[in-house]
Structure 1
């Protein structure tokens, strides 16, 4: 009887632990071939002149793929890396290694699902099946108390029903071993220059350095809860509720939402911790994308017309991008984003509201800029949040005005953040 071989196509699931497709492949096949494709589509320049993937996110991705390869090699396996369209690369490897089936995690945004469809069509031509798995959300789609088409458009209703009627599945273990056939050409992991990008320049003001990979993700998760427990025991609630900075590792699947959730449960902070709320928002937008598709990318979103915009879109957008609006807190946030590829959620909400409400710039231009700049960009969270803020999403926020002084007063009362990123600014 001939051996059965399954190709595992890694995408935004760059981990070994709690990876259902990898575990399932090792149980169903004699040989498993892990593969990652650097798709040229994601490293092109868009019609607006921005990179589809900026250098901060690309660097994090390269580090994550490298760490995945190292962890697989530690188990006696290997990661094949190729640069090229998956619809070409996956069938070629399937033929070369006499693959019987291909596994991958399903995505929700139209570009990602379109690539899956291309791969599926190419595999059908050689009589192979592409098996889809669901592994990017905290709550599994099959465990929801409603079908996707009936998911509440209100986040508050969604949260109430899901917390009452659903439960989070437990983590699946890492495979005990991965039997991989002899790999003649594992391939080199490209550097930033080969992807058409420049190496980001370290900024001395950046006090948090993101390094991609599953290994660092687990270290960061443990460190967060150690600090969390210390802050709570010391009655420092401000420190205890500060950001986890886990979003880049969640974006690339170096760690799963379930791993974060069950770690929170272990530390007994799962019932009211803001970290779990953030995971629920991630789920909400992914399920909304599954329900509504491309509506999140349209300027008018779910409404009859798009928000009114100013006449001089280009100049206002450039002021916002470069942090030269004259509003210190907004400008400080944009300087940090441009220098590091990351700003916290408070800053994201603030600068987005300012662009849409005060400058009256087309919100999709802001969302596109975040797509290039953010190290933790994911389509559903990014475009879902922007549509939400613009008032054209599935659950619009009633933001009728924006107070220029309120964000700084609440988030930066001593103006330390502003002075860090705009040291020559005099705030009056």
Structure 2
């Protein structure tokens, strides 16, 4: 690696693995300084958590590798090199900053505990660096809100109504291409699944999410779901489906890894409405993006309270941690066929429908009365679209310690009759697997 003579900017990628509509990239390019990009596969993310699960299982790991690989290609087209390390960021950054004469680091603003701890570890090893933290994962930008974050409404409907007709969505940002002179000698390698401790594997033939990670794949899916098939126009009718690739948009894994932004999806919905038609379904996709924002604002308001047993409502229930019941739930061996089918799908594919998630989480927390944080940690491990705010927000919600004032309990048998009347889903996952 050659030493840089000029002051350089460094963009540290985390859950923002894209070039289009990336506010961090946009800010890092403003002053025209040489720019390098860094991604670290932090070994911390591949350790065992306090409940005994891999923090990141093979499904998330594979999607992440694909996403970083594509990011490297996209940045390459802009003459920006992505340096990739399989090390703790605090071990990598001091030497990098010295070698490339970095005086400014640009990162997406994060606020949950693990991300903040890693940031602090890096900052403690660096002197005289300017840090630029930029909000980059919202539909409604925090600076545009018409209320204080500390006054984020306790009920989603109030949050939505305060925003959707009163606050504008910012335009999409486009990256700039650098001259060839911005290139550096880059000998770093993206780790393989084996490097991260997993055997390679094929996607399950019945997976409802057979897609790959990365910005290119995210935009391909959007083009297909919106403009080629116009499935967007039926989204509200099909979104509670259980089988197949097209019952829902499937954007969540790309959103969770930042391969596409909520704003990009929003503006593409608006384009669809202008070119074709506007209906309840086109609105409902935006409605779901607002839900995603809501859980981010809830976690911004309440901080680490979202990880605590009593949740943001600080309600005291008598939770169990019965290992037999937990394992039966994980292995799809409960008394409910509907729960079992969903849990087997998750175990085999790293994916589960929204309808399935609501049911299995409610069954775990309300029927079995198990410590909901264990269920949330299992989801964190397995789900390709794991997003800290949505995961813990939804689990608190169904466990009765979050944003649901009604404290509901799902009747999983009635739900099965309603959403799997022909037993197609249960038959798919409860038959002896040949895979």
TM-score, structure 2 as length reference: 0.90
1:264 lines up with 2:269 in the alignment = yes
SS at the partner of 2:12? Answer: strand
Q: Residues of 2 paired with 1:60 and 1:73: CA distance?
A: 20
Deviation, 1:412, is 1.1
Q: How does 1:5-404 map to 2 (within 5 A)?
A: 5-123=8-126, 126-177=127-178, 181-226=182-227, 229=230, 232=233, 238-239=237-238, 242-268=247-273, 269=278, 273-310=283-320, 313-399=322-408, 401-404=409-412
Aligned length: 418
Cα gap change, 1:56 to 1:240, in 2 (>3 Å): closer
In structure 2, how many angstroms separate the alpha carbons of the residues matched to 1:149 and 1:239? Answer: 36
Instruction: Give how far 1:396 is off.
Output: 4.1
Q: Which runs of 5+ in 1 are unaligned?
A: none
Shift of 1:315: 0.7
Deviation, 1:116, is 2.0
Structure 2 spans left out of the alignment, 5+ residues: 241-246
Equivalent-residue separation in structure 2 for 1:7 and 1:332 (angstroms): 46
- The answer (yes or no) to whether the contact 2:235–2:248 under 8 Å persists in 1 is no
Tell me if the contact between 1:30 and 1:179 (Cα under 8 Å) persists in the aligned partners. no
Give the secondary structure class of the aligned counterpart of 2:362. Answer: helix
Give 1:178 shift.
6.0
Q: After superposing the two structures, state which structure 1 stretch, 192-201 or 168-177, moved more.
A: 192-201
C-alpha separation between the residues in 1 aligned to 2:124 and 2:324? 44
